[in-house]
Amino acid sequence: MVASKRLFALQGFLLSIGFLTFGYAQNALAQAAQPPSVSTDAADSVGNGSAVMNATIEALGDGDVTTRGFEYGFTTAYGLTTTENSVLAPFDTDPFSTTVTGLVCGRVYHFRAYAESLIGPGYGEDQTMIFGCNHSSIPPSLPAEPTEPAVENGDTAVTPEVLAPEPVPPSPLDLAFPIAPPADTRDVDGHRSAPDSGIMGVSPFDGAPTLISEVTAGWFIRAPDYDSVYYVTSDLHRRPFLNSQTFLTWADSFDEVMWVTDATLASLPLGAPMLPHAGAVLVKIEDSPDVYVIEAEDDGSSALRRIPSPSRAAFLFGGNWAKYVIDLPTTIFHAFTLGADVNPHEIFSRSLMKLRSQLQ
């Protein structure tokens, strides 16, 4: 009887060892199993609303690869997916590609490849693609040259020398400014409203899931819960205007602003502040009496050129020259480069300038 009990105990012990060994083996196999390895390659044939996304399955991992495709969208949250299945004839370590259509011009798209087996999915690195919009440049509409009184010179009233006006060289931003909205769609408050992209984002204001709006390079945009107005650049960054005066050196009214969702702002990287439009106004820094002309540089920057005296300002810009001057905050002075003083032989066109009273 005692021998039988010992035998049963030994059998139970051996059975327990077997189960433990089987469990450890299963865990080891699970830990060793690898999903496919895939790389995301550069897109090609990008344009006219379509693109070809490319990738390569680098390694199959520890299972048959039966699904592959791409994720793509305006952000790294993607939101759109292409899928290719092959259960009977699993995929090998080969390049593959997918053509997508319906892309929005001027938008940066993120995309990455994936491949999946029974072990799980493997993902490639994030890539981006963009194609430009085909449109004509429309120069900003600015008021006609204002009238000016004669300049007082002692007891004698003299009329400044009349010089043939020449157009001020356009800012590089003018090459894509402004772009008219595709349709005059208004919200309940009468604001121009950008169309939805169909891609979900998150509002930075309250964290709520919100549709991202479609935007186009060259638009002015703002969101309901934020006061700032932004210019959308060709690489789809948003550049904030310093204030309403600065904005109105670029536009004729706030009716040109397209309203977008709060989540749209979060999807567009923040760029450098927008400075007053070159040639539209004269400027001074708040804590300095010096008055400057703004000139657009070839590299896209803005230069300040000092007007040495009130008499030179009157000669170049008329007796009402002071009405063209707006103040800029001291903190923005570093955003400009400094050029040479303005000389009396230069020509500036007042037909492109705005009075301070027009910037309210």
Provide the pLDDT for residue 215: 92
**Of the given ranges (14-18, 305-309, 336-340, 351-355), which has the lowest mean pLDDT?**
14-18
Whether the predicted model's global pTM rises above the 0.85 cut: no
φ and ψ of 155, to 5 deg: -95, 0
Query: Mean pLDDT across the stretch 219-227?
Result: 94
Task: Say what the pLDDT of residue 187 is.
Answer: 82
Label residue 143 by pLDDT band (50, 70, 90). very low
Cβ–Cβ under 8 Å, residues 352 and 279: yes
The pLDDT of residue 100 is 87
- How high is the pLDDT of residue 177? 42
**Residue 12: its pLDDT value, please?**
54
Q: Tell me what the mean pLDDT of segment 329-348 comes to.
A: 89
Q: Per-residue pLDDT for 131 more than 50?
A: yes
**CATH code of the domain made up of 37-129:** 2.60.40.10
- Percent share of the chain, pLDDT over 90: 47
In the chain, what are the domain boundaries?
37-129, 172-267, 282-359
Looking at residue 345, what is its pLDDT?
Answer: 85
Q: What is the pLDDT of residues 84-130, one digit of tens each?
A: 988 788 899 989 999 988 776 656 788 999 999 988 899 999 998 87
pLDDT tens digit sequence for 145-195: 333 344 434 333 344 444 433 333 334 444 334 444 455 688 888 889 999
26-83: pLDDT as tens digits? 554 445 689 999 999 999 888 777 889 999 999 998 889 999 999 988 778 887 888 8
pLDDT of residue 293: 95
3-state secondary structure the chain: CHHHHHHHHHHHHHHHHHHHHHHHHHHHHHHHCCCCEEEEEEEEEEECCEEEEEEEEEECCCCCECEEEEEEECCCCCCEEEEEECCCCCECCCEEEEEEECCCCCCCEEEEEEEEECCEEEECCCEEECCCCCCCCCCCCCCCCCCCCCEEECCEEECCCCCCCCCCCCCHHHHHCCCCCCCCCECCCCCEECCEEEEEEECCCCCCEEEEECCCCCCEEECCCCCCCEEECCCCCEEEECCHHHHHCCCCCHHHEEECCHHHHHHCCECCCECCCCCCCEEEECCCCCEEEEEECCCCCEEEEEECCHHHHHHHHCCCHHHHEEEECHHHHHHCEECCCCCCCCCCCHHHCCCHHHHC
Rounded to whole angstroms, the Cα distance separating 202 from 90 reads: 38
